[in-house]
Amino acid sequence: MRFHGKKRRKKVAKREDYISWDEYFMGVAMLSAKRSKDPNTQVGACIVSQDHKILSMGYNGFPIGCSDDDFSWDREGDDNKYYYSTHSELNAILNYRGGSLEGAVIYVTLFPCNECAKAIIQSGIKEIVYAEDKYHETMSVITSKLMLRSAGVLMRQYEPSGREVLITL
Ligand SMILES: Nc1ccn([C@H]2C[C@H](O)[C@@H](COP(=O)(O)O)O2)c(=O)n1
Ligand SMILES: [Zn+2]
């Protein structure tokens, strides 16, 4: 092959074992979940543009000014975490500092609840890629899917590749 009139040396071949877009964005969502202080379920989300740019990230936690040490992480009783925690998907939407999320894709480690589904629909996100769906039998997830389907938001389950990535932090 010729390059600027000169005979070109054989090119060095590219790496072939690079991670896919799905692995990359679900990996970022999984890493975000590691920031959660919830002792029972840690959820992470990563919002991506149609041209594969990361727009925002989030994980489940208490609002700014509501200390993780003062507010309750209990699952039951009058004073429980469900009153206080913001879900990862909503945090990712609220963390976005750009303009519109129209047409974006959200990668999330757990299928969105009905409240997050409303926020996803209203923000213009058009596709959900989720890893787990452990609450699929709850009314929250059943109604979430009803709304998402009705609004034309695509939903697909992430297919784990089984690839292990070692990151020493
Ligand atoms: N799609 C979801 C579902 C749940 N979360 C958060 C809300 C809680 O902090 C936790 C669930 O706790 P559990 O009932 O399993 O003890 O996960 C979320 O961020 N996104
Ligand atoms: Zn939610």
**From ligand 2's centre to the CA of 112, what distance in Å?**
5
Q: What domain range includes position 42?
A: 26-157
**pLDDT, tens digit (0-9, with 9 covering 90-100), for 79-127:** 999 999 999 999 999 999 999 999 999 999 999 999 999 999 999 999 9
Tokens at residue 149, please?
Answer: 């389907």
Q: What is the ipTM of this complex?
A: 0.98
For 119, half-sphere exposure in the C-beta direction (CA atoms, 13 angstrom radius) is 17
Cα of 102 from ligand 1 centre, angstroms:
25
Confidence of residue 13 (pLDDT cuts 50, 70, 90): very high
Q: Is residue 7 a part of any domain in this protein?
A: no
pLDDT at 9 over 80: no
Query: Which ligand 1 atom is at minimum distance from the Cα of 43?
Result: 19
Identify whether 121 is part of a domain: yes
CB 122 within 8 A of CB 151: no
Q: Does residue 87 have a known ligand-binding role? A: yes
Q: How many CA atoms lie within 13 A of 36 on its CB side?
A: 27
6 lies in a domain? Answer: no
CA of 81 to the centre of ligand 1 (A): 9
- Known binding residue 46? Answer is no
- Report which protein residue has its CA nearest ligand 1's atom 15: 41
Instruction: Say if CB 113 and CB 120 are below 8 A apart.
Output: no
Tell whether 110 is covered by a domain.
Answer: yes
Burial (CB < 10 A; 0-12, 13-18, 19+), residue 164, is exposed
11 has pLDDT over 80: yes
Domain contains 169: no
Number of domains observed in the structure of the chain: 1
4 is in an annotated binding site: no
pTM for the whole structure? 0.95
Q: How far is the CA of 161 from the centre of ligand 2 (A)?
A: 26
Residue 3 has pLDDT above 70, yes or no: no
Residue 11 maps to a domain: no
pLDDT in tens, 34-79: 999 999 999 999 999 999 999 999 999 999 999 999 999 999 999 9
* Ligand 1 pocket residues where CB is under 6 Å: 38, 40-41, 43, 60, 75, 81, 85, 87-89, 110-113, 116
pLDDT of amino acid 29: 98
CATH of the domain at 119: 3.40.140.10
**Confidence at residue 10, expressed as pLDDT on a 0 to 100 scale:** 83
Which residue has its alpha carbon closest to ligand 1 atom 13? Answer: 41
Q: How far apart are CA 114 and CA 123, in angstroms?
A: 14
Give the single-character DSSP code of 124: T
How many whole angstroms separate alpha carbon 119 and alpha carbon 42?
20
Determine which one of 89, 102, 127, 159 is catalytic: 89
Looking at the domain assignment, is residue 64 inside a domain? yes
- Do 59 and 81 form a contact (C-beta atoms < 8 A)? no
E-assigned strand segments in 9-133: 44-48, 54-59, 105-110, 127-132
| 16 counts as catalytic | no
Beta bridge partners of 57: 46
Tell me the two tokens of residue 133: 């769906």
